[in-house]
Chains A and B, each alone.
Chain A
Amino acid sequence: VQLVESGGGLVQPGKSLKLSCSASGFTFSNYGMHWIRQAPGKGLDWVAYIGSGSGTVYADAVKGRFTISRDNAKNTLYLQLNSLKSEDTAIYYCARGDWYFDFWGPGTMVTVSS
């Protein structure tokens, strides 16, 4: 199993960014997937979930601004980040699992700053 995030970077407040998570080594379409973030020096903060049937759940802090999606043909998970705020600055991890998170990617850093 391998998960690799990409798409992070430096972005101004109010702007947008799209993260990707490329999956391999398992049948991607069979699993729910999550995005979890970690601000510098802080703990883990769950962001969003998409099920194998594409149902979604979001944390209140990102609801209406972030959109999780998946492309099973490309074995790829996405997170569209809109209206970014300084408090969204974090490492963003994708993780596999409908319950516990049994595999995690190395993460991609998103920095929101003017």
Chain B
Amino acid sequence: DIVLTQSPTTLSVTPGETVSLSCRASHSIGTNLHWYQQKTIESPRLLIKSASQSISGIPSRFSASGSGTDFTLNINNVEFDDVSSYFCQQTQSWPRTFGGGTKLELK
């Protein structure tokens, strides 16, 4: 199975900051990596597909990059509404796997 390791586990930031969340894969997965946001008591929503492709309706402050084993989700000018957990997920192989998540908190 492909293991996805996200870091940090928790990130405490000030509104207006720019942050980077990391997702590392145990094996190369090309760009078959997707990012999801999950607010408390809500279901996840797709933020970024195929490592860097934007999703309609997602604010432009969310962007992502990477390929192979190292991936990054960037959030520019963090807002209060961004308080959530963020998960990466791979579709390179079965079983589909998720990273453990990064919880974004505001100071």
Contacts and interface: CB of A to CB of B under 8 A. Distances in A.
A10 interface: no
B36 A43 contact: no
The DSSP consensus for interface residues of chain B is: loop
Interface residues of B, number: 23
A31 interface: no
Interface stretch (A70-78, A82-90, A98-106): A98-106
Nearest to A105: B43
User: Which of B34, B89, B95 has its CB near the most chain A CB atoms (within 10 A)?
Assistant: B95
B27 interface: no
Contacts of B55: 102
B107 to A, nearest CB: 23
A5 to B, nearest CB: 10
Given A99-B34, A100-B46, 12 more contacts: A44-B36, A44-B38, A44-B87, A46-B96, A57-B94, A58-B95, A93-B43, A99-B91, A100-B34, A100-B49, A100-B91, A101-B34
